[in-house]
Amino acid sequence: MKKTAQLFLLLLFINHFSGKAQQYVQLAVDSSHWFTTPFIIMPSPPPYQYFEYYLLGDTTVSSVSYKKVYYRTEWSSNGYGNMTSNFSLYALLREDTTNKKIYTIPIQNFGNNCQLNQEVLLYDFNLQVGDTLKASNLCLLLSDKVITNITQGNTWLSSKTFQLQTMPDELYEGVGSYYGLFEVIEPSVSGPSPYLIDYCRGGLNNCKYLNTGIAKNKSTENVYIYPNPVLDYFTISSKENFEFEYQILSIDGTLIEKGRNQSNSRIYITLDNGLYIIEIFGINKDFRTTKKIIKIK
């Protein structure tokens, strides 16, 4: 009898935490901020361009409730923490928490396929491994994407991460994607491509990097790759010394090489000529950046 009671309590304990881990995390939360910046293809001094989305307030369209998302962009030599330009209304968001889908009515558009002034599907988080996201259904996709893995937790929240077959493409429940909120979910092969550098939920005080000094000290404005184009080696250069992990991906997202090194040290490579993506992560997970390198003979 005692063993039966213990087993019953154990099952209750497991079910409680299993249910908690699977609870859907909402995206449309007031006072949320998303900061993005384009890739820097070649080393260059600042200033750099930053983009910010800010979700705040409600409105109704045809008796349907939406959240308002504002936008601004600015060039800065001091990171994204001191932006002073004015916000303008960018889009409206509607969240279907039952079906785990995010809809938007874009008011402005800077590079995605979302039609202006009409409701379109922005994100679908009701996914299983093996599901295919159709570009014909989601306006942030340029091609169909297959969900290859789902894990709990990511850089920004303890929510689910949906990995797509093309690295570094990922969706983050409650946040958006690796690239941002309204950014196309596809690495660019011909020019700058934005990616999410910081996210704040419930106000700027909750930003991961903004208030720690990390974003200012270790971000794309202080981390360079040279020489680029690359012959036999390259150096990840910074004014600071830090240890990092890196992975080199082909432009279609295939992992080519990965390793661990120290800033301002040479990394020797044996790659075919072409364009590659390199992701760099601080060992202490205190920063990350993604850049492109061109391999030549």
Q: What are the structural domains, with CATH classification, of the chain? A: 23-217 (no CATH), 223-295 (2.60.40)
pLDDT tens digits for 82-98? Answer: 788 999 999 999 999 99
Q: What is the mean pLDDT of the chain?
A: 82
Which of the residue ranges 89-98, 145-154, 205-214, 244-253 would you say has the lowest mean pLDDT?
Answer: 205-214
Q: What is the mean pLDDT of residues 136-159?
A: 91
For residue 125, give the nearest of 172, 179, 183 by alpha carbon: 172
Contact 138, 177 (CB under 8 A): no
pLDDT tens digits for 88-140? Answer: 999 999 999 999 999 999 999 877 889 999 999 999 999 999 999 999 999 99
Q: What confidence score (pLDDT) does residue 195 get? A: 83
Residue type, 95: E
User: Sheet harboring 274-282: ordered strands across?
Assistant: 255-262, 243-250, 274-282, 288-295
Banded model confidence at residue 1, pLDDT cuts 50, 70, 90: low
Banded model confidence at residue 171, pLDDT cuts 50, 70, 90: very high
Joined tokens for residue 182 = 């309204």
Banded model confidence at residue 60, pLDDT cuts 50, 70, 90: very high
| pLDDT reading at 159 higher than 60 | yes
Predicted structure pTM score:
0.68
Q: Name the region of 111 (left: φ>0; alpha: ψ -120 to 50; beta: rest).
A: left
CB atoms within 10 A of CB 227: 14
